[in-house]
């Protein structure tokens, strides 16, 4: 067996273990919390009082205007100057959550705004309150439209978690870096890490297609395409 292939086989288990223990949990937690934050931010910007709208806009402006890596460094390396000490994983979780929250808020705001005004009027005409109209009429329609961009954001997040290696989170990419430090084979190990990320993204992309088809079935898209 070639030495490069043996190296890839020997390092496969540590890389997969790091992915299961750190990369996947970090992705799921960050996306779930970020999605909730994004929904709250979007609703605030659309329906909130002016002071809260200004705060929401400022938050989105700051996060979208600065690199994710810089945000992680500020949280992990900068906050200790203020006496706020965070472990690597919580710091990464906060950073990714804030980042995802800002980007998903723009997606959610756009899809809620895309629901025709007549849907609100129809909901009100049958006696629904604002909250009922939002839960039963607006959000179900907006969700169907939001599936593709939110799915793309989730897939991008899987790859972006590699930035957590910069703040010492022992996820998949940093594990590859540690193995490189002992084997001096950067090309092979980094290609192997890239292939694992590619496999994860491919599986998620296939699931995204199935999810989109499921929602499109109720939206008239498949019929129009035929």
Q: Which residues of the chain have pLDDT under 70?
A: 217-226
Q: Which long-range contacts (CB under 8 A, 24 or more apart) does 72-81 make?
A: 72/163, 72/164, 72/166, 72/167, 73/166, 73/167, 75/167, 76/167, 76/168, 77/167
Cα separation, 113 vs 207, in Å, equals 27
Q: What is the DSSP letter of 134?
A: I
Cα separation, 174 vs 193, in Å, equals 10
Q: What is the pLDDT of residue 71?
A: 97
Cα separation, 21 vs 14, in Å, equals 10
Tell me the pTM. Answer: 0.91
Q: What is the pLDDT of residue 218?
A: 55
Cα separation, 203 vs 51, in Å, equals 43
Q: What is the pLDDT of residue 219?
A: 54
For residue 50, how many other CB atoms are within 10 A of its CB? 7
Asked if residue 83 lies in contact with residue 164, where contact means CB atoms within 8 angstroms, the answer is no
Q: Which residues contact 17 (CB under 8 A, 6 or more apart)?
A: 175
Q: What is the pLDDT of residue 191?
A: 96
Q: Which residues contact 33 (CB under 8 A, 6 or more apart)?
A: 93, 97, 100, 101
């Amino acid at each position: 067996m070639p030495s490069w292939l043996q190296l890839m086989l020997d390092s496969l288990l540590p890389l997969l273990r790091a992915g299961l223990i750190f990369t996947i949990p970090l992705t799921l937690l960050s996306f779930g919390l970020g999605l909730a934050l994004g929904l709250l931010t979007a609703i605030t910007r659309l329906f909130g009082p002016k002071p809260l709208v200004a705060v929401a806009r400022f938050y989105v402006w700051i996060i979208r205007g600065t690199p994710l890596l810089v945000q992680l460094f500020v949280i992990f390396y900068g906050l200790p100057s203020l006496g706020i000490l965070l472990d690597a994983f919580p710091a990464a979780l906060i950073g990714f959550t804030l980042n995802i929250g800002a980007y998903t808020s723009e997606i959610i705001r756009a899809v809620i705004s895309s629901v025709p005004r007549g849907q609100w009027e129809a909901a009100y005409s049958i006696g629904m309150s604002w909250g009922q109209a939002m839960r039963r009429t607006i959000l179900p329609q907006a969700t169907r439209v939001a599936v593709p961009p939110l799915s793309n954001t989730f897939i991008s997040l899987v790859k972006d978690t590699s930035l957590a290696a910069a703040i010492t989170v022992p996820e998949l990419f940093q594990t590859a870096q540690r193995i490189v430090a002992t084997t001096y084979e950067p090309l092979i190990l980094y290609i192997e890490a890239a292939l694992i990320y590619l496999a994860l993204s491919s599986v998620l992309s296939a699931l995204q297609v199935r999810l989109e088809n499921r929602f499109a079935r109720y939206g008239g898209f498949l019929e129009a395409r035929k």
